[in-house]
Homo-oligomer: A and B are copies of this chain.
Amino acid sequence: MAERATSAMGGENLLFLTDEQLRKGIEAMFFAYRGFTADPDRILETQGYGRAHHRALHFINRTHGTTVNNLLSTLGVTKQSLNRVLRTLIEDGLVESRVGRKDRRERNLYLTEKGEVLERALSEAQRERMRAAYRAAGPQAVAGFRQVLEAMMDDEIRRQYNAMRDRRT
């Protein structure tokens, strides 16, 4: 059995596709995601917000003036669920909701200065961990990381994800 080989061999070698390797990858995703959310979670807790607020702030920041419907499909939740989060953010003066110009049924969402401050704090905490991980792993590993994650997304979601990179750089 010439079964010993490293994944660096690539090509024909399919040992990286064994159930055991896949299980390790699954566990890595699970544990890494905990780390991924840990730092922002700590900040959010002090402000009385949750992860749902973080996600809303993140995507409103990414796509200034996005509509509620847009945000809904990006976040993958119901409008009632998003609305609850959005309402508190608007009440607290972190998000501004402006009536749409072209279509006045739509609401365009923007971060206020106060909202930007919190978004920046959350983002910086999360990026700091990502940066450390990226630096430790190196650029080639990062490229692989991104490739695998992209391949893991649902097709519809991947389209949204790819569309996002063009909006704001």
Where the two chains meet, the residues of A that have a C-beta atom closer than 8 Å to any C-beta of B are: 7-10, 13, 16-17, 19-36, 38, 55, 58, 62, 76, 123, 126-127, 129-154, 157-158, 160-161, 164-165, 169
Contacts and interface: CB of A to CB of B under 8 A. Distances in A.
B143 A143 contact: no
7 contacts: A16-B139, A16-B143, A17-B134, A22-B134, A23-B62, A133-B151, A137-B144
Count chain B CB atoms within 10 A of each CB in A126, A152, A154, A164 and give the residue with the most. A152
A134 B141 CA distance: 14
Contact of A157 (B22, B35, B157): B35
A35 B148 contact: no
Contacts of A147: 136-138, 141, 144-145
B146 A143 contact: no
Contacts of A138: 10, 147
A35 B132 contact: no
Given A28-B146, A138-B147, 19 more contacts: A7-B140, A7-B142, A7-B143, A28-B161, A29-B32, A29-B36, A31-B161, A32-B149, A32-B152, A32-B153, A34-B154, A35-B153, A38-B154, A133-B149, A134-B151, A137-B144, A142-B144, A145-B145, A145-B148
A159 to B, nearest CB: 10
A41 to B, nearest CB: 12
Q: 3 nearest interchain CB pairs?
A: A144-B144, A141-B144, A133-B151
Contact of A127 (B26, B58, B127): B26
